[in-house]
Chains A and B, each alone.
Chain A
C-alpha cells in the first residue's frame, strides 16, 4: 500500500517518505525495547539500574567500536572478516609497545597496525579484484598468524597504565559518569553517522554499495573509497583491540576468535544489508545492544549460555526476515 501511494503521488509530499524513513530504524529500536521489556519483567526493576545499564554498555562497547567500521564497509557492499584477528593483533601490539613506550604511543601504534591491516584488505580487494569475503578470510588467518608470531605464541604482560582503566566504572567523582572508552565510542559513533550522511565520501559509499556500475558511470573514485573504508575499518577494529587490552591487561594473540561474526550480526540486525547500500549507525548500535542485553539478561536470569546463543541466533534470522517482509 505504501508503495502504491508513493508511485502515484506527485512532487512535494514528504510525509509518506518521512514515516517510511522512520520505520527503517524504528524496527530495530522497537526490537531493543521489546528485549529490554522482557528481561525487565523477568528480572525486575533492578535490571534497569544505572549500574546494570552501564554493564550492558561496557559489555557491548568492543563490538560497537568494531561495528562502526563494519557498518561503513557493509554500506559500501563489502565485508571484513579479519576484525577478530585485528583485535588480537592490536592487544599484542599495545602490550609490546607498553614495555618500552608510554600508553599513548602504544595505543597509537596499535591503531596504526590495524590501519595497515585494513589498507592491505582494501588494496587486495581493489587491485586483485578478489571478492572481499575471500580476501578478508585470508587476512583473518594472516593477521592472526602475525599476532601469534609477534607474541611468540604467549600472552604478553604489560605494565599497568591508564589504558587499563578505559572501561573501568567511574567512581572518583570526576563527573565523567561513564568510562572513557564509552565516551570515545559515543563520539566516534556520532562522527561516523555524520560522515555517512553529510560527506561526499559517505554518500559515495552508499552509491558504491547500491550499484557499483552506476557509481563508475558517475565518475566516483571507487577504488580510493574502498581502500579508505577498509583502512578506517581496520583502525576501528584496532581501537576495539585497545579496549579489549584494557579489559584483559595483557596482550593475547588468541583473543576475540569469531568476534567478526558478532560485529557483522550487529550491523545486520541494525538493518544493514550484505548486498550493500543499506545500514546505519543508530541501527548498528541498537543491534549490538540487543545482543548484549540478551547476553546479560540471560546470565542474570541464570539461563545457560546455550539459551543465549539460541535466542541470539533466532533474532539474527528473524530481524533479516522481517526486513525482507517490509520491503
Chain B
C-alpha cells in the first residue's frame, strides 16, 4: 500500500510540566491512503495533531513530508507546507463569503497596490468546489448561512485551494446528519484517489472500519499498535484502545441503597429515564459530545427542561440552580476555569459562594467566620494554598478542583452531580476525590457521576448507564460492565 510515504512522524515526545503527553510515537501515512487515528479521550491524539499542525513543538522526534524534513514554526508554516486541519468546530469566518473564506490568507491580487482580484477569487473557489463535486455551493454565499455539512465542505475546499498534501479530519461527523456522513465518506474516497494523505480521527469504530485503510491506536501517549483495517475486527481495535486492566485507585466501601431521591422521566433530547437512590453512585458513561453534560445541566436548572419530568425528593418540576441548591442538590461543573470557579475570587469566597448562611447574620458575611470555615475545609481536603484569601487561579488544577468539591461539602447537599470531576488533575487529587465519593455514598448521599474515563466509572460506581449518540441507555449494575463493553456501547460499535 505504502508505495510512497507522504507523512512520517518518528519518535515524537511531548511533555507538559510533569505529565508525559506523548512518548516515542510514530505515525506514517502514504499518499492516497486514509489512516485512522484512534484512542480514548486523553490518549494524546489532539497533542499529536497539534504538533503536526505546528501549534505545538515536539520535545523530541522528527517529521518528514514527502521525504523532506518538516518542522513547522507555526500553523501558518504548516499550512503553507500543505498540511491542513479540519477541526470538530468549524473555523470559517461566518460573515465572509464562501470564496473569501477559501482564499483567506492567499488572496489573489493584481497591480502594484495589491488590489484583491475578485474574479480570480471566484474562479479559484468555483474550481475547488467543483473538484469536490459540490458546484451547488455558490462562491458568493455567506459562509455562516450554510449548513454545517456545507461549511465543512468549504473548509475542505480551502484546504484544496492551498494545495494540501496531508488532510487531517478531527471527528468530522460529529455535527453531520446521516446523509451528510455518507457524502463525506464519498468525498474522502475521492480525495484519496487524488493522492492526498488523510488522517482520520474518530471515536466511532464503525466509521473507522468504513472509511480507513489502516488504523493506528494511541493509548496513554504511546503507540498501542495498528494495522490494516480490513483485516481487523472492531473488538480488536477496542481492546487495543482499552489496554491495561483496572488498577487499585478505587476504594469501595459497602454502599447501602436507600430511598429514591432523584427521578428522571424522559428528560431532554437524551430521553433520560433513571432513578438515583441515596447511598448510591450512579455513573453516566459516554464520549465527549454525547450530550451527558447537557443532561446534567438540565437537571440542575442551567438548561431549560424541554421534555420530560425531573423530581428531586419531594420537589417536582423544573427549577433554577438556586432552587436546586435549596433542594439539596449541588453540581460540580466540568468547566472548572470558566464556570466551576470564579478565578479572580479567593479560595474562601469560591468555597462559600452558594451557602453563605453560616458566615454571619442574614445578609452579612463576616470575614473571620468565612475564613475559619474555609480553613477547616482546606485542612480536611488538604487543599494546598498559601492562604484561603489567595485567588483560586493561583492554585494547581487538583487543588482548584478540591475547592470546587468542597463547596458541595460545605453546602452539605444530599445529591451531588459531578461532571468530569477528575478532568485534568493529578493522580493524588484523583485518588482523594474517589475516596470522597465513596465516603459520601457511605454517608447515604447520592452521587450522579459523568466521566469519559471508563476505568474510573467502573472503579467508583454502583450502576452505570451509557449515553451514545445523544441517547441514554438503561442503568445496569457495574458488575455487568467492563471497559470493553462500555466502549463498544458508547462508540456505537454494537450497532454495526
- Residues of A in contact with B (beta carbons under 8 Å apart): 3, 5-7, 9-14, 16-17, 21, 197-203, 206-207, 210-211, 213-221, 277-278
Contacts and interface: CB of A to CB of B under 8 A. Distances in A.
Interface in B306-335: 320-326, 331, 333, 335
Contact of A210 (B300, B342, B366, B390): B342
Contacts of A218: 321, 325, 353-354, 407
Nearest to A209: B344
B366 A215 contact: no
Contacts of B333: 217
Contacts of B360: 198
B257 interface: no
B136 interface: no
Given A203-B365, A218-B325, A218-B407, A13 B345 contact: no
A16 B339 contact: no
A221 to B, nearest CB: 6
A277 B387 CA distance: 19
A17 B386 contact: yes
A12 B375 contact: yes
Given A198-B360, A211-B341, A214-B353, 8 more contacts: A5-B386, A7-B396, A11-B375, A16-B386, A199-B363, A218-B407, A219-B320, A220-B322
Interface in B362-390: 363-367, 375, 378-379, 383-387, 389-390
Contact of A10 (B350, B367, B384, B396): B384
A200 B322 contact: no
A11 B324 CA distance: 32
A6 B346 CA distance: 13
A213 B339 contact: yes
Given A7-B396, A219-B322, A210 B389 contact: no
12 contacts: A7-B396, A10-B384, A17-B386, A201-B363, A203-B365, A211-B338, A211-B344, A214-B345, A218-B321, A218-B353, A218-B407, A219-B326
Nearest to B297: A217
B384 A11 contact: yes
Interface string B340-361: 1111110001100110100010
A201 B362 CA distance: 11
Contacts of A21: 389
Contacts of B15: none
Chain B interface SS verdict (over half):
loop
Given A3-B394, A10-B384, A278-B344, A206 B349 contact: yes
A3 B386 CA distance: 10
Given A197-B367, A200-B364, A216-B321, A207 B349 contact: yes
A7 B386 CA distance: 7
Nearest to B332: A217
A211 B387 contact: no
A219 B325 contact: yes
B347 to A, nearest CB: 10
Contacts of B338: 211, 213
Nearest to B352: A203
B386 A13 contact: yes
A131 to B, nearest CB: 19
Given A16-B386, A198-B365, A210 B345 contact: yes
B417 to A, nearest CB: 11
A16 B391 CA distance: 12
Contacts of A17: 386-387, 389-390
Contacts of B323: 219
Listed residue (B323, B326, B356, B378) with the most chain A CB atoms within 10 angstroms of its CB: B356
Contacts of B367: 197-198
A219 B385 contact: no
The 8 closest A-B pairs by CB, nearest first: A219-B322, A9-B386, A211-B342, A210-B342, A218-B354, A210-B344, A213-B339, A214-B342
A197 B378 CA distance: 22
Contacts of B364: 198-200
B302 interface: yes
A327 to B, nearest CB: 10
Contacts of B394: 3, 6-7
B5 interface: no
A214 B339 contact: yes
Contact of B343 (A9, A200, A211): A211
A85 to B, nearest CB: 31
B81 interface: no
A197 B387 CA distance: 18
Contacts of B409: none
A11 B389 CA distance: 11
B395 interface: yes
Given A11-B383, A12-B375, A217 B363 contact: no
B385 A215 contact: no
A221 B363 CA distance: 13
Contacts of B350: 214
A42 B225 CA distance: 79
